[in-house]
A = this chain, B = another copy of it.
């Protein structure tokens, strides 16, 4: 069970906000929309764009010592008004303690940084009440990774080195139920499920805007491509959201997400064919095809989840796609076996122009885990035998030569 510390709810639990600067203030008021008392704040003079990035003035809260150092998930109901922001100040253990600031503010830019201390997350431009949940450790790690010049010792920051020192509110807004917790899985879960339902397009897919080059001049994807792995993992999440919430909106979104499995990658979908007519759902739907193993299996797991949790035509279609894919997998998985490890994809076969791409060990381990999972769903010995042989490769065994 996660441990939670409620810091401020405008009524029963109030925090010790430090107010500085002229015009800055906090107060607890009844919010008519929420029909509840909330914290209202104003701190017009503070700025998150100052040279130090630490903000000056405003409304600040030092994290009480009663909050555990591992309570790094912040959540609150947040009413964003004009020019508002939330800033988090961290101390990170290093030779000497290093201070970072993560600022959350209305913007459509996902992430940017300044100097070696300041990280900015745009949280979108929609104003009004919202549920706001952030993993402060992940946001710090991603921000530091996005910085240009950071000492090597700060490139990887483990949880035990991080302490959240304080929060700072700027601009105008309201908040309620401000909490620091060890985890807020369910909130992240629904945030993701809701994002997926909001952003699903007319194809049932979630287009990926980042262009992707697998092999220069040969295997490339322009902005707007779909990934069978993304579709499959979205389905896996959505059917769980439907199951947990009882809200069929999620299930309908999951059902729509299968459409792209039936569209060939040459036509903007994710389906490729190995010679002999073996359908493969492509993590990267390049032309020629790539046949990435782990992404394909994730796409199958999505189909499995959907067929098991739906009924009627939706389940029937998911079953058909799943069975077709499983036949392909069981037929073709030996081609990923190098006798000492596994291949990440079949690029060497489809292009004939590049070397095979052995999977590094963490992908090899992923392959094993995936095959073991599928072997629990399908008794064909090729799944378990392959998983067992690939496990032996991890321990240095090699297939005997002739």
| Main SS class of interface, A | loop
The answer to whether the Cβ of A161 comes within 8 Å of any Cβ in the partner chain is no
Q: Would A338 and B335 count as touching, CB distance under 8 A?
A: no
Given A275-B276, A344-B401, A344-B402, CB of A356 within 8 Å of CB of B338: yes
Residue in chain B with minimal CB distance to A350: B334
Q: Would A340 and B337 count as touching, CB distance under 8 A?
A: no
Per-residue CB contact flags for chain A residues 312-352 toward chain B (1 = under 8 Å, else 0) read: 00000000000000000011101101111101100011001
Most chain B CB within a 10 A radius of its CB, from A277, A335, A352, A359? A352
Residue in chain B with minimal CB distance to A214: B402
User: What's the least CB distance linking A297 to chain B, in Å?
Assistant: 16
Give how many copies assemble into the complex.
2
Residues of A340-391 contacting chain B, CB below 8 A = 340-341, 343-344, 348-349, 352-353, 355-360, 363, 381-382, 385, 389
The answer to whether the Cβ of A188 comes within 8 Å of any Cβ in the partner chain is no
The answer to whether the Cβ of A399 comes within 8 Å of any Cβ in the partner chain is yes
Most chain B CB within a 10 A radius of its CB, from A330, A349, A363? A349
Q: Which residues of B contact A349 (CB under 8 A)?
A: 332, 334-335
User: What's the least CB distance linking A242 to chain B, in Å?
Assistant: 34
How far, in whole Å, are A363 and B344 apart by their CA atoms in the complex? 26
Given A334-B348, A343-B339, CB of A356 within 8 Å of CB of B275: no
Q: Which residues of B contact A358 (CB under 8 A)?
A: 339, 398-402
Of B330, B334, B348, B353, which contacts A356 at CB under 8 A?
A: B334
